[in-house]
């Protein structure tokens, strides 16, 4: 951490601190914006007191970030085209980060103030896409290349499918409970239970399931949404002080050797499949000149990139042996080789077995570039956890009382929370960002329909409007702010 401060110009240090503060503030907002959804049902059903629920939720969010890994973090980062990631300089790095964060924070605060369960995931992803498209317009890059569209499509599918699945699965789960235990007390609302039994809290087993599922939602929310903050901080660090963070300087000799071996095996893989890939990669053809400082990742430059990378890593047992410019160069080569390998893996003529081998090689290639220091993970976990404990009331009221025309039963709360936990947990396994807000609120809506309670049109309309508008509005805001910011950084 001290290496980060020593030797930096005052304005770079100030910009870095401000950028990190922006990311952590976004995660703080994310905490009270999204976690309200995680605790809404457990608070509304009186399974836990509000303050106990949000404190425990904050703790489980904190743990979720610490233990969640970085797969989702880099799924977010790689929404940006590889050229923008490898060619960014300090000025444009600052413009990129501040633009997307300012847009995301503005929309998140606005929807929270109105009590609308909007998605922080949609907001952040829209902002990143906006910056990518804004950069394409400014640099005359085709819009088709301005964003990693394949990654964007994969994420869009997960963001669209997850709430629909949440609606359907929660509804089916509730119907299953009603069929299995039609006379159970779990089908009472808190108001009904108080009138009939004079009791404030749910039956013991219902209460236990509600509490455990709420904490599980908080944990998976932390592991999914917290990683988005980790990805943003890594963008900040790589954009502003690249020499220190483009590679994991704590990589062991073994990890570096795996990277070097993966590069060599990749070359052998291409030679083994030269009959299929020769034209696509221009294998065996002469390449003249050196790799330029700013370049696009051209598959036809693969051989020269491999040669240059192996030369840079020759005899290297510690990345600290490389000067900052060489570290940036090594990362550039690694990202370009990974980008080309990803494209090669989609070629239909490549046998499925070879495609699987290529996927394993890609993991070894990016092992020392896709990482996050512990202090980054801890800072995001703390911000998200603290944010959980404030500002939750507005959205809890919406989820608990304004989605359905009747009050939520204990069974409905359990069905929605169990569904959300499973959906977000599955997304974590496949390193896909999903929206806790949309999965849980759609799950509640599904149980209302299954319970024949009806839906409140005004609330549903507001949620759908936020769902439809979040991406285009955040994209437009981020693109506009990025265009303005680049006017000042040249």
* Average pLDDT for runs of 10 along the chain of length 490: 63 82 85 71 82 86 89 83 68 78 85 70 84 81 73 74 89 93 84 77 89 91 86 85 88 95 94 89 66 66 91 94 91 91 88 88 91 93 83 59 73 91 87 80 87 76 76 88 78
- Categorise residue 253: left if φ over 0, alpha if ψ from -120 to 50, beta otherwise: alpha
Measured in whole angstroms, the distance separating CA 188 from the mean position of its chain's CA atoms is 37
Using only the alpha carbons of the chain, give its radius of gyration: 24
> How far, in Å, CA of 43 to CA of 200, rounded?
12
| Long-range contact pairs involving 469-473 (C-beta distance under 8 Å, separation at least 24) | 470/107, 470/111, 470/118, 470/119, 470/122, 470/123, 470/126, 471/122, 471/125, 471/126, 471/129, 472/126, 473/107, 473/126
Quick one: 92 and 237 in the same domain? Answer: yes
Main-chain dihedrals φ then ψ at residue 188, nearest 5 degrees: -90, 155
> How far, in Å, CA of 278 to CA of 287, rounded?
14
* pLDDT score at 415: 92
Q: Are 136 and 143 in contact (CB under 8 A)?
A: yes
> How far, in Å, CA of 424 to CA of 429, rounded?
9
Q: What are the beta bridge partners of residue 455?
A: 404
Main-chain dihedrals φ then ψ at residue 455, nearest 5 degrees: -115, 145
Question: Looking at 365, 397, 424, which one is the last position of a domain?
Answer: 365
> How far, in Å, CA of 268 to CA of 417, rounded?
49
Cα 331 to Cα 92, 226, 233, 322, distances in angstroms = 18, 25, 17, 12
Measured in whole angstroms, the distance separating CA 223 from the mean position of its chain's CA atoms is 9
* pLDDT score at 404: 64
* pLDDT score at 209: 92
* pLDDT score at 488: 72
Question: Looking at 342, 365, 388, which one is the last position of a domain?
Answer: 365
Quick one: 95 and 37 in the same domain? Answer: yes
Quick one: 240 and 264 in the same domain? Answer: no
- Could you give the angle at which helices 436-450 and 410-429 cross, rounded to 10 degrees? 140
Question: Looking at 337, 365, 393, which one is the last position of a domain?
Answer: 365
**Residue-wise over 49-85: b if at least 16 C-beta within 10 A, else e?**
eeeebbbbbbbbbbbbbbebbbbbbbbbbbbbbbbbb
Quick one: 286 and 417 in the same domain? Answer: no
Quick one: 343 and 281 in the same domain? Answer: yes
3-state class of 162 per DSSP?
helix
Question: Tokens for 152?
Answer: 């964007």
Measured in whole angstroms, the distance separating CA 186 from the mean position of its chain's CA atoms is 35
Quick one: 350 and 392 in the same domain? Answer: no
> How far, in Å, CA of 260 to CA of 103, rounded?
40
3-state class of 455 per DSSP?
strand
User: How many independent structural domains does the chain possess?
Assistant: 2
> How far, in Å, CA of 172 to CA of 158, rounded?
20
* pLDDT score at 486: 81
Number of Cβ within 10 Å of residue 192's Cβ equals 13
Cα 285 to Cα 273, 303, 344, distances in angstroms = 16, 9, 18
What H or E segment, with its residue span, contains residue 181? none
Quick one: 14 and 81 in the same domain? Answer: yes
DSSP 203: P
> How far, in Å, CA of 303 to CA of 337, rounded?
10
Quick one: 337 and 390 in the same domain? Answer: no
Quick one: 119 and 163 in the same domain? Answer: yes
Quick one: 151 and 9 in the same domain? Answer: yes
With vertex at residue 445, the alpha carbon angle to CA 109 and CA 118, rounded to the nearest 5 degrees, is: 15
* DSSP track, 470-489: HHHHHHHHHHHHHHHHHHHH
Quick one: 189 and 290 in the same domain? Answer: no
Residue with tokens 């077995």: 353
> How far, in Å, CA of 410 to CA of 167, rounded?
17
Parent domain of 101: 2-244+373-489
Quick one: 272 and 203 in the same domain? Answer: no
Q: What dihedral do alpha carbons 222, 227, 229, 233 form, nearest 10°?
A: 140
């Amino acid at each position: 951490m001290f290496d980060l401060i020593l030797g930096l110009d005052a304005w770079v240090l100030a910009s870095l601190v401000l950028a990190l503060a922006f990311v952590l503030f976004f995660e703080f907002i994310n905490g009270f914006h999204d976690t309200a959804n995680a605790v809404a049902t457990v608070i509304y059903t009186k399974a836990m007191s509000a303050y106990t629920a949000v404190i425990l939720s904050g703790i489980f969010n904190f743990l979720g970030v610490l233990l969640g890994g970085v797969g989702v973090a880099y799924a977010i980062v790689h929404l940006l085209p590889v050229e923008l990631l490898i060619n960014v300089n300090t000025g444009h790095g600052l413009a990129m980060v501040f633009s997307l964060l300012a847009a995301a924070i503005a929309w998140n605060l606005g929807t929270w103030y109105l009590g609308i369960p909007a998605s922080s995931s949609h907001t952040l992803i829209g902002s990143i896409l906006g910056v990518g498209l804004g950069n394409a317009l400014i640099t005359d890059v085709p819009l088709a290349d301005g964003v990693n569209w394949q990654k964007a499509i994969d994420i869009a599918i997960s963001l669209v499918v997850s709430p629909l699945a949440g609606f359907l699965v929660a509804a089916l789960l509730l119907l299953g409970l009603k069929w299995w235990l039609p006379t159970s007390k779990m089908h009472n609302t808190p108001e009904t239970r108080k009138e009939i039994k004079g009791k404030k809290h749910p039956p013991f087993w219902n209460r236990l399931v509600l509490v455990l599922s709420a904490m599980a939602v908080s944990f998976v929310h932390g592991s999914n949404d917290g990683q988005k903050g980790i990805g943003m901080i890594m963008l900040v660090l790589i954009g502003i002080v690249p020499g220190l963070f483009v590679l994991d300087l704590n990589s062991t000799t073994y990890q570096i050797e795996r990277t070097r071996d993966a590069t060599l095996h990749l070359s052998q893989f291409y030679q083994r499949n030269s009959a299929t890939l020769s034209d696509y990669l221009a294998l065996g053809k002469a390449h003249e000149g050196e790799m330029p400082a700013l370049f696009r990742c051209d598959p036809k430059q693969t051989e020269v990139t491999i040669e240059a990378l192996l030369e840079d890593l020759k005899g290297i047992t510690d990345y600290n042996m490389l000067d900052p410019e060489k570290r940036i160069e090594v990362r550039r080569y690694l990202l370009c080789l990974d980008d080309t390998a990803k494209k090669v893996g989609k070629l239909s003529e490549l046998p499925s077995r070879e495609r699987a081998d290529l996927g394993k090689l890609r993991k070894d290639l990016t092992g020392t570039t896709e990482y996050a220091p512990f202090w980054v993970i801890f800072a995001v976990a703390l911000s998200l956890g603290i944010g959980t404990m404030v500002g939750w009331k507005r959205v809890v009221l919406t989820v608990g009382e304004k989605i359905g025309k009747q009050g939520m039963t204990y069974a409905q709360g359990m069905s929605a929370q169990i569904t959300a936990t499973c959906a977000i947990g599955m997304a974590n396994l496949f390193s896909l960002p999903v929206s806790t807000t949309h999965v849980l609120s759609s799950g509640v809506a599904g149980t209302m329909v299954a319970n024949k309670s009806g839906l409140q049109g005004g609330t549903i309309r507001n949620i759908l409007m936020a769902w439809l508008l979040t991406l285009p509005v955040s994209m437009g805001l981020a693109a506009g702010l990025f265009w303005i910011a680049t006017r000042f950084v040249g």
